[in-house]
Chains A and B, each alone.
Chain A
Amino acid sequence: MATNEELLLVHRDMPYVTRAKRYDLILTPQFYIFKKESLPIKYHYQAMKLAPSILDELTGAGAYSYAVIQEDDGWAFIAYDMGKIETFLAEKGLSKNLINKIYFAQQAKEHFKYPVSADEKNAIVTVDDTVVILPKSIVAEEEYGIVTNAFRPDKGVSPVQSRTMLVTQQQAIILSLLLIVLAVGYFVQGIKYQNAMTHIDRNIEKAKAKSPEIKGKSNFLLKNLYESNYALDSTQRKIRDRLKDLSKLTSKVSKIDTLKITPQGYEVSIATNQKSIPKLKKYAKSKKLKVVKNTTGFMLKGAL
């Protein structure tokens, strides 16, 4: 896609320049390795996959990025070291952060058919469909062209694309989509749980509405109400259970002298004979009634 940024021709002997705005680069063959192959490949991505192996013999050590250009008679494979290019640009006063698009001179081979001056000694020119840098002495032109916006090819490489990354853009998109789909799934599930909680709240309110004793009261108040009622219910049931237990201690020989039972506890004195005391004690123990030592009879005293 064409841009409106300034198009800078990058060659080894370019002058020191500074730019405050974003700019596009057109790299001369000094900054890339080029090989043309006539292969039965239809799609760009297939050519991109082959680029490293095709250029393997030409590239030395370095972190190379690759580009491919479809030409009339085959594919042009390009390898370039973005790190080195950025270092060079920094030496020439250009910030790598302002690079918008990177183009290769090979992409503009039609424009370089008329030689363009690179510096005092060299010119860029298309020879046999390949853009090369030649000494001006060989080119022997009296006048040289200049790079204009008309040179800008249709497609350029983004500096981000050219950088060696942990994940490619395609991988990033696929992975992100996968993660987002999962996230949506979990989020929807979470929403369902939230809705279920609202439903529970409604059920609680419905349950409250059923009973006039608790209608309109807060959960905190109801908790206190439950605790106080539970304590009362529990105490009164214990009183009745204790009365039932104590009544079983009486017989023809064992009679209640005094009995007092309150929500706080019980106190019972039973008149009996010495023979019956072990039996009474055994029963009291089975019912967890506390026996008080008493010389005159049998006495029980304790909390409910």
Chain B
Amino acid sequence: MFRKYQNELIVLFSALLLLGAVLFQYVSYGALQKKSKESIALISQFEDIATMKKLWGKSKTRARVLGNIQRTLAKEKVKKFKIEKNKAYIILENLTGTELNKIVGKQFASIPVQITELAIARDGEKYRLELKCKW
């Protein structure tokens, strides 16, 4: 049988070899394209993870920064300023509108702490601020 069609079989075998090689090249190219895209995204994610962990993760400086804020406030306005490990519970009272804007907008919001709850309540012209955060 082989001898009878040996020429055709040789050509067929070579064609199959070519087909296999083309498929191998095609599949490899597709896999490379996919991997290339994935790697770009992955490496970018690595950088993001590192940045985000640094930003929102555990830090020894957060407590110090919050402590600095506490020192700028009048004592009678600080009802509670409790910092425990990586958590803080702050209650400020009798704040004017300007003070409130400054404390919330320029101080607490600019510190990379995870705000779990921020509550404001007005009593006449004064405000009460309650902040729970962690890092």
Residue B69 interfacial (CB < 8 Å) = no
Residue A38 interfacial (CB < 8 Å) = no
Cβ of A226 and Cβ of B45 under 8 Å apart?
yes
User: For B119, what are the chain A residues with a Cβ–Cβ distance below 8 Å?
Assistant: 258-261
Tell me, in angstroms, the Cα distance from A180 to B53 when the chains sit together.
54
Looking at B24-32, B60-68, B86-94, the stretch in contact with chain A turns out to be B24-32
Tell me, in angstroms, the Cα distance from A255 to B121 when the chains sit together.
10
Chain A: which residue is nearest B43 at the CB level? A207
Cβ of B122 and Cβ of A255 under 8 Å apart?
yes
Residue A236 interfacial (CB < 8 Å) = yes
Chain B: which residue is nearest A196 at the CB level? B32
User: For B11, what are the chain A residues with a Cβ–Cβ distance below 8 Å?
Assistant: 167, 172, 175-176, 179
Chain B: which residue is nearest A178 at the CB level? B14
Cβ of A230 and Cβ of B56 under 8 Å apart?
no
Which one of A159, A171, A240 has the greatest number of beta carbons of chain B within 10 Å? A240
Cβ of B21 and Cβ of A184 under 8 Å apart?
yes
Known: A179-B15, A180-B14, A196-B32. A187 touches B50 (CB 8 A): no
Interface size bracket, B side? 35 or more
User: For B45, what are the chain A residues with a Cβ–Cβ distance below 8 Å?
Assistant: 222-223, 226
Tell me how far the C-beta of A301 lies from the nearest C-beta in chain B, rounded to whole angstroms: 14
User: For A207, what are the chain B residues with a Cβ–Cβ distance below 8 Å?
Assistant: 42-43, 46-47
User: For A189, what are the chain B residues with a Cβ–Cβ distance below 8 Å?
Assistant: 25, 28-29
Cβ of B39 and Cβ of A203 under 8 Å apart?
yes
Looking at A130-138, A243-251, A276-284, the stretch in contact with chain B turns out to be A243-251
Cβ of B109 and Cβ of A240 under 8 Å apart?
yes
Chain A: which residue is nearest B13 at the CB level? A176
Residue A90 interfacial (CB < 8 Å) = no
Residue B73 interfacial (CB < 8 Å) = no
User: For B39, what are the chain A residues with a Cβ–Cβ distance below 8 Å?
Assistant: 200, 203-204
A-B contacts counted at CB < 8 A amount to 175
Q: Is the interface of B mostly helix, strand, loop or mixed?
A: helix
User: For B24, what are the chain A residues with a Cβ–Cβ distance below 8 Å?
Assistant: 186-187, 190
User: For A166, what are the chain B residues with a Cβ–Cβ distance below 8 Å?
Assistant: 7-8
Bitwise, B13-55 to A at CB < 8 A (1) or not (0) is 1110110111011011101100110010011011111101101
Q: Which of A219, A225, A226, A243 contacts B104 (CB 8 A)?
A: A243
Tell me, in angstroms, the Cα distance from A207 to B95 when the chains sit together.
48
Tell me, in angstroms, the Cα distance from A32 to B76 when the chains sit together.
126
Residue A208 interfacial (CB < 8 Å) = yes
Cβ of A213 and Cβ of B109 under 8 Å apart?
no
Residue B81 interfacial (CB < 8 Å) = no
Which one of B7, B27, B28 has the greatest number of beta carbons of chain A within 10 Å? B7
Cβ of B21 and Cβ of A187 under 8 Å apart?
yes
Tell me, in angstroms, the Cα distance from A107 to B119 when the chains sit together.
113
Tell me how far the C-beta of A144 lies from the nearest C-beta in chain B, rounded to whole angstroms: 35
User: For A185, what are the chain B residues with a Cβ–Cβ distance below 8 Å?
Assistant: 21
Cβ of B53 and Cβ of A213 under 8 Å apart?
yes
In the complex, besides A167-B8, A226-B48, A261-B117, 7 extra interface pairs with C-beta distance below 8 angstroms are A193-B25, A193-B29, A196-B32, A197-B28, A229-B49, A233-B55, A260-B119
Give chain B's interface residues, CB within 8 Å of chain A.
Answer: 3-8, 10-11, 13-15, 17-18, 20-22, 24-25, 27-29, 31-32, 35-36, 39, 42-43, 45-50, 52-53, 55-56, 97, 101, 104-105, 109, 112, 114-122, 127
Q: List 26 A-B contacts (CB under 8 A).
A: A166-B7, A166-B8, A171-B7, A176-B10, A179-B15, A180-B18, A183-B14, A184-B21, A187-B25, A189-B29, A193-B31, A194-B28, A197-B28, A200-B32, A200-B36, A201-B35, A203-B39, A204-B43, A213-B49, A214-B50, A222-B46, A232-B114, A258-B122, A259-B120, A260-B117, A262-B116
